[in-house]
Amino acid sequence: MRGNLVKREPSRLDHWRKMGLYEKIQEQNANGPSFILHDGPPFTNGDVHIGTALNKILKDSILRYKSMQGFRSPYVPGWDCHGLPIEFKVTKELREKGKDLSPAELRKACADFSASFIETQRGQFKRLGVLADWDEEYKTMKPEYEATILRTFASFVEQGLVYRSKKPVYWSIPCETALAEAEVEYHDHVSPSIWVRFEIPGHQFLHVDGPLYIVIWTTTPWTLPANLAVAVHPDLEYVEVKHNGATYLVVAQLAENFIENCELEGATQGEKHLGRKLESLQANHPFIDRKSPVVLADYVTTESGTGCVHTAPGHGLEDYLTGLKYDLEIYCPLDDKGCYVDDGQVPAELVGVTVLETKGKCPANIEVLKILEEKQALMKCKRYEHSYPHCWRSKTPVIFRAMDQWFVSLDAHHMRDKVLQQIDEVKWSPEAGIKRIRGAVETRPDWCISRQRSWGVPIPVFYDEDKNPLLDQKVICALADKVAEQGTNIWFEQSAAELLDGIDLPADFAGKELTKGGDTLDVWIDSGCSHRAVLQQSEKLSWPADLYLEGSDQHRGWFQSSIWTGVIADGKAPYKSVVTHGFIVDEKGEKISKSKGAMSSDGWVKKFGADIMRLWVASQDYRGDIRLSENHFKLVSNVYRGVRNTLMYQLGNLAGFNYETDAVKPADLTPIDQWALMQTAGFVERVTAAMETYEFHKAYQEIDRFVGVTLSRFYHAILKDRLYTFAPTWTERASSQTAIYQIFRALARVIAPVLTFTSDEAWSFHVSGEELADDSIHLQPWPKASDFQFDAQVAADIDAIINFREEKVNLPLEKLREDKVIGANLEAKVSISAMEEDALLKLLKQYETELPELFIVSQVTLDTKAEGEPEVTAAHADGERCPRSWRWVPELVSAGDFGNVSPRDRDALKALNLI
């Protein structure tokens, strides 16, 4: 066995491909119980990220383990091909080249782009050692898959869940599209925090002297042109704050903060009013000629601000709901590019100004602040640091923008309750996952499913001359049949009449001239339908899946979209259990991303090899965030070398040993070998328990401890003398080879799911003496603790003696080395004295002949004493040093040409026919 993983792993991959290893595994387990892990599809928009590599390695390790346990575990990988990430990249490249393509041409460019990265990513996944049914991989852009998406959507329509409404949605200005919640990420952000006064003319029913104002606080000044009301909490008290002849209404609990922030020196507090008493007050908008009535809202808090909330129904969900309650216009004076429109209400100086923030500056905020200052409505402006939603693709702050979109009602027919009930029936790991997804489902607003993009599955809606939508389940299913044959490109290439040719229309639309809609479906529906398009369509697979395994962000993404589609279309969750892992972070704890220049998985593989990467993945408790650095890989590399050296040591000492003819019977094994088998049985049992719960970091720790301590420090060190100096025919040597044979076969199989290349290489040499063998380790069964036969009492006795060595014998030996009396332990003798009735002395006498070997010294003497605790002393060994075994013996004897050696070594040389 040689190292150099980077250069030598590819030849093993090629060997697996030629021998059809994946197919052989499936054929071997064809009649076994099934275990289906459904693959969440990565976006095909770049090289494989280190986090995606971690995900695929975890999946592959689980499936390899399950296969070794006899499960039929087919693995069908998938690819998410549609959507914003791909269209954004392609459009950017085309614009840089000065090209402007039609939707159909853009779709072709996106399809080619996606296909090219499928090839790239597939190669990178294979290089990681991932075994899969690559011939059956699924792609969301395949016509049959697209047809399943439409049929799933048809079930939404059939149940009356889909509706169109003008509601505020997350909007990405650079990408010019609505975003799903899962496409939004939160980053620290600095906003202008402003206090603005709205005049209440005539005081109305409040009896105050001088000007009267209600004061709002906001961190989005650019939304003020869309202000239509001021919200107060009905059950909170609002106080009159008087300063320089003017009166300001704010919530009583924040009055002191308001006075301090706005620097109102000498201000006093007057009469208080319950919030509900302020309803119907009519304030003036600070710079637009319209009223801003005071309305009531339970979501108003006293955490910050003034307790008087600026309300723009077109720019926030809570504002929107308040607008519906008070019949306010859902007003949003912005175009798709985030610029104010000239609608007769927006001030002329704001028309055409963008709300898009660039380099920390928002032109609209700047202009609105100028207007407020001119109108003397701005009381104070400060910097405010907070977490704010950003577009996951452009990395720019998103806005809430009201516009006509298609939504799925999540509460109709008690659908949300049904999903929550299914969540409770799924096993979540870590257990906190159930709280995360329940929280996400419970608070999620209706699902905005329309996107203003070209690269995706179209929403199959048609409109008549009066803009009435035709969205019919039977029509959609008929269109899905056409898409299954021709793909969704037909939507962009054919007219409405051509698309509907041969399809029966509802009576209300028959004979009318129809036009097709221009929106595409949210890509989370695409990937969320994978269980229907893949698991339900393949004879090799089954539904629901036994396991979904993805990053913890998928509680808001794929896990959620999958369970919604599953419950709506099939009445059940598409998975039985869900395992999540954290994010890859750097040494500072910051998330690693390709956009920040992080090295791809291929880069790490080219530097260290796939097995090192796989071992690094196994070493991490992936349930939390995972720190990554070159130092981590170097530490793991040291552990890897220990494993590899152990396998090489064992293979070397099995040379010439035929287990069928040379093995020693279990009852005849020497005590140390029985101890080693006991340790191996416990090791296998513990690793199996860890693998069953997918806790690879525990398996990694067990492997490291077994190899580094149990074998290298104890067992292999103890065996060196008999393995290197005893004759092959001697029982002691054959006993150890018998144990090593069993231990090697267990260790090699235990590490196989993780160290796929190294374990297979070791196994190949073991079974054939060659580097590559068709009898792959990945076709072997998982070892069991019951495979190992040993005398439990003997093994326990040796365990007690080894513990005694560690606690008592090593101390005086270490002192001898420090004093330079000895160099190695074999130069020492150990004396142990204890009372005759002492249990320890009885145990040591029982194994007296094995003690020098167990302690790795030349001589051990046992003595009795009258009283006191057992005593251990050490000194330089007596006699002469054997040049062959390095043991000290009373005297050396002649061994012919080999000179003088110990009597035992002379006998070994004779047995070898060397003298």
Per the listing, tokens 């693995």 go with 75
- The residues near 360 (Cβ < 8 Å, ≥ 6 apart) are 190
Average pLDDT, stretch 176-186? 79
Cα separation of the two ends of the chain: 33
pLDDT at site 387 = 85
The number of residues in the chain equals 915
- Neighbour-count burial of 91, counting CB atoms closer than 10 A to its CB (0-12 exposed, 13-18 middle, 19+ buried): buried
pLDDT in tens, 110-133: 999 999 999 999 999 999 999 999
Lowest mean pLDDT among 102-106, 489-493, 592-596, 778-782: 592-596
Integer Cα distance of 123 and 600 in angstroms:
13
Percent of the chain with pLDDT over 70: 99
Distances in Å between the alpha carbon of 854 and those of 597, 737, 739, 862, 890?
54, 17, 16, 15, 20
pLDDT in tens, 867-890: 989 999 999 999 999 999 999 999
Lowest mean pLDDT among 456-465, 469-478, 587-596: 587-596
The answer on pLDDT for 182 being more than 80 is: no
Taking alpha carbons only, the member of 640, 613, 649, 609 closest to residue 628 is 613
pLDDT in tens, 338-355: 999 999 999 999 999 999
| Average pLDDT value over all residues in the chain | 94
Integer Cα distance of 299 and 236 in angstroms:
11
| Residue 188's pLDDT band (cuts 50, 70, 90) | confident
Sign, CA dihedral 259-264-269-274, equals negative
pLDDT at site 696 = 96
Integer Cα distance of 534 and 541 in angstroms:
8
The answer on pLDDT for 225 being more than 70 is: yes
pLDDT in tens, 68-110: 999 999 999 999 999 888 988 888 888 788 887 888 899 999 9
| Residue 141's pLDDT band (cuts 50, 70, 90) | very high
Integer Cα distance of 307 and 273 in angstroms:
13
Please, are residues 401 and 226 in contact by the beta-carbon 8 Å criterion?
Answer: no
| Residue 302's pLDDT band (cuts 50, 70, 90) | very high
pLDDT at site 756 = 98
Average pLDDT, stretch 185-204? 90
Angle between helices 433-443 and 415-425 (to 10 degrees): 180
pLDDT in tens, 594-618: 656 677 888 999 999 999 999 999 9
β-pairing, 399-408 with 447-448? Answer: antiparallel
Q: Establish how many alpha carbons lie within 13 A of residue 426's alpha carbon, considering only the half-sphere containing its beta carbon.
A: 35
pLDDT in tens, 678-717: 999 999 999 999 999 999 999 999 999 999 999 999 999 9
Please, are residues 871 and 863 in contact by the beta-carbon 8 Å criterion?
Answer: no
Torsion of CA 865, 868, 870, 874, to 10 degrees: -70
pLDDT at site 595 = 59
